[in-house]
Structure 1
Amino acid sequence: MQLLSPLWLLLLIPLAALAFTYVVLQRRRRRYAVRFAALPLLDKVAPQQPGWRRHAPAAAFLLALTALGLAAARPVIDVRVPHERATVIVAIDVSRSMEATDVEPNRMEAARNAAAAFIENLPETFNVGLVTFAGSTSVLAAPTTDHDSVAATLDNLPMANSTAIGEAVFTSLDQVASMAEGEADVDVPARIVLLSDGTNTSGRSPDEAATAATEAAVPVSTIAYGTQDGTVELQGQVIPVPVDVESLATLAEGTGGQAYTAESGDELAEVYDDIGSSIGWRTEPREITPYLSALGFLLGLAAGAMSLRWFARLP
């Protein structure tokens, strides 16, 4: 929390003195009553003591003054507010290594299910597009607010050889740029969410892609998907396909995005949930002076109401 006018907190000093004085006076009053009255007689004369009700109005009144003193200092807190618009490009690796079964039922099937849920759960006003990549890239769905149609394209993803991670980023950036045309005066945030399990083997390098994404101010969040023990069978041969976590993390960090790892379908779903939360919301400062002022008013009102109800007088 930040304070725009912190000097107004000095108002709390006399308030603290007032609270201290109240406590001292209450202790003196109790000692005086015990000293000059026989306890059995006191119980008969005043069998019912107000107890906590005697102090409730004063406590509410002091809290009201505290709230008003804090309001004078104009506190500001960070709050999460939803983005009204954004462009999200989902890029999915469809190379042969995604057929590995170290993730049940296989990497591709689990990735498809998790990506579909992620797309459908994005805010309705977000434009979302889908890019697939192996040795080359394909735009299966241009950015649109029709999330169901984009998710439907995940049902049939053709597999191919090689992995062009860098090209996938460049293709995704082209889709972001196409959405920005005609909206030069509107600042719409964009994010690329790239899932892969391998090393770049085709096209431009991830370093070149990271430079381009940084210049375009588009963060790339990467998901390294699968385990180090994954294998696929190609032409009768069993080929190991371990996940290249390091290169994907370097790509994400170089663009200001987040790097994730997932070794199961459940973990992947959690990663997509986390990415969706970070994309759908932003943090902005908000002054809470009106709320504290209203709280102070209500507490003061409560103090007056309790005093009139129980003691027929204002505090």
Structure 2
Amino acid sequence: MDAMERLPVLSFLWPSLLWLLTLVVLLAAGYVWLDARRRRTAIAYPALKTIGLVPKSGAGWRRHVPPVLALLALTSLVVAIARPQAVLVLPSRIETVILVIDLSGSMRAQDIKPSRIRAAQQAAKVLVNAQPARVSTGVVAMAGTAALAQAPSRRKDEVTMAIDRLQPQGGTALGNGLLIALTALLPQLNNDAARMLSDDEDAIPVRKPKSAAGAASAGAASAPEAAQPGSYAAGAIVLFSDGESNAGPAAMQAAKLAAENGVRIYTVGIGTTDGVVLKVDGLSSRVKLDEQALKQVADATNGEYFRLEDASKLSRVYEALHAKLAMGKRDQIEVTAFFAAFGALLATIAGMLSLWWFGRVL
């Protein structure tokens, strides 16, 4: 589970100042006591109503409204003093989405009609057409190797045409596809991706987590820092695949590189876990949806896994995935200004109502 999702909905930077709320309770108790005393006085000395020393019975509930609003205003201002923070889902700032589409032989399987590859293409096109005009979309074709089939573009017709041109091929290299998508999203990763593709992992710099960077020595401080997984807000990768891979670097190696640069990878599993027997070139084999691999990639990058096992559920998968891309990620935001403004508004309303009804400010 994302650590942000475990945070309380409302927390405080200065929680020790919440003791001031006891003053609000004392004031409320004082008001109740004073009101009861006025009632007893009104009963004992009815003549005092004529000179305004006790409330008139005609005031009714209205005489309680301004004090109650004032107490609520004071409560809101005290909460503001404690500097509250709320965990909110903010609108996405995504500018680029890279779609990686699996074209391996197993994607010819027809456990999803008309086939896995056609279902993936249909889902990808629906997602492209739903993106805001400001978002650029790119397409990576992945089989035994991977290539950029469409550079990121805001022209949806170009992107959907590129998706339609894709045809099944041989082999599956999930790692290759994710690395090509990463370089399309972040060109500065070209060298790291090239080293991974050439199996020269020792040449890839080891990045230190940001949390450990502050405690690192001066000599180690020069090493590249790793971003927090999911922290890159300007782009994301969406992988459509059945999860099986038999070529190129491991998908988790590419996922690790994506996580170190804050890029989220959303994975869409195409197929059924029971699989189907597929005949290719006279050979038969059972091809299944490998959910575990796709879940691991998504979890490592703070993304999310979706499953498409029935073409009729395409809209449901699309809606969930589009919501993730459209709303971005949860973040903790200080909302002190909201509580301060709300308290000031309540205090103003309380004063105006008291002045209007009784000719005085509280």
- TM-score, normalising length from structure 2? 0.72
Residue 243 of structure 1: CA displacement?
Answer: 0.8
Unaligned runs of 5+ in 1: 38-45, 182-186
Residues 1:201 and 2:246 are matched in the alignment:
yes
Cα distance, 1:151–1:135 mapped onto 2, change above 3 Å: same
Partner of 1:252: 298
Shift of 1:199: 1.4
Pairing 1:72-83 to 2, within 5 Å after superposition: 72-83=81-92
1:227 matched to 2:236? The reply is no
Aligned residue pairs total 302
SS at match of 1:82: coil
Which residue number in structure 2 is paired with residue 270 of structure 1?
A: 316
- 1:25 and 2:70 equivalent? no
Cα distance in structure 1, aligned partners of 2:337 and 2:252: 49
Amino acid at match of 2:287: V
The one-letter amino acid paired with 2:324 is: S
Distance 2:117 2:357 in 1: 71
Q: Deviations along 1:205-243, whole A, 9 cap, x unmatched?
A: 324333443444433322222113443454577643221
Deviation at 1:31, TM superposition (A): 5.0
Aligned in 2, Cα 1:269/1:28: closer, same or farther, shift over 3 Å?
Answer: same
Could you tell me which residue of structure 2 aligns to residue 184 of structure 1? none
The answer as to 2:172 corresponding to 1:127 is no
| Change beyond 3 A, Cα 1:283–1:23 | same
Cα distance in structure 2, aligned partners of 1:144 and 1:268: 24
Instruction: Choose from 348, 351, 354 the match for 1:301.
Output: 348
Q: Which amino acid aligns with 2:298?
A: A
For 1:150-229, list aligned pairs within 5 A.
150-178=159-187, 189-229=234-274
Q: Which region of structure 1 is more displaced relative to structure 2, 16-25 or 202-211?
A: 202-211
Q: CA RMSD in A?
A: 3.1
1:292 counterpart residue number = 339
Structure 2: 5+ residue stretches without partners: 1-9, 47-54, 191-231
Deviations 1:45-103 (A, max 9, x none): x9974332121111111112222222222323233333434432110112233233322
1-side partners of 2:79 and 2:56: how far apart?
Answer: 41
User: What is the aligned-residue identity percentage?
Assistant: 34
Q: Name the residue aligned to 2:63.
A: 54
Q: CA deviation at 1:194?
A: 1.1
Q: How does 1:142-157 map to 2 (within 5 A)?
A: 142-157=151-166
Q: CA deviation at 1:141?
A: 0.5
CA–CA separation in structure 2 for the residues paired with 1:72 and 1:219: 36
Amino acid of the structure 2 residue aligned with 1:252: A
The aligned residue for residue 40 of structure 1 is none
Q: Which residue is 1:43 aligned to?
A: none
3-state DSSP of counterpart to 1:290? helix
Determine the structure 2 residue equivalent to 1:104.
113
The 1:4/1:160 distance shift into structure 2, 3 A limit, reads same
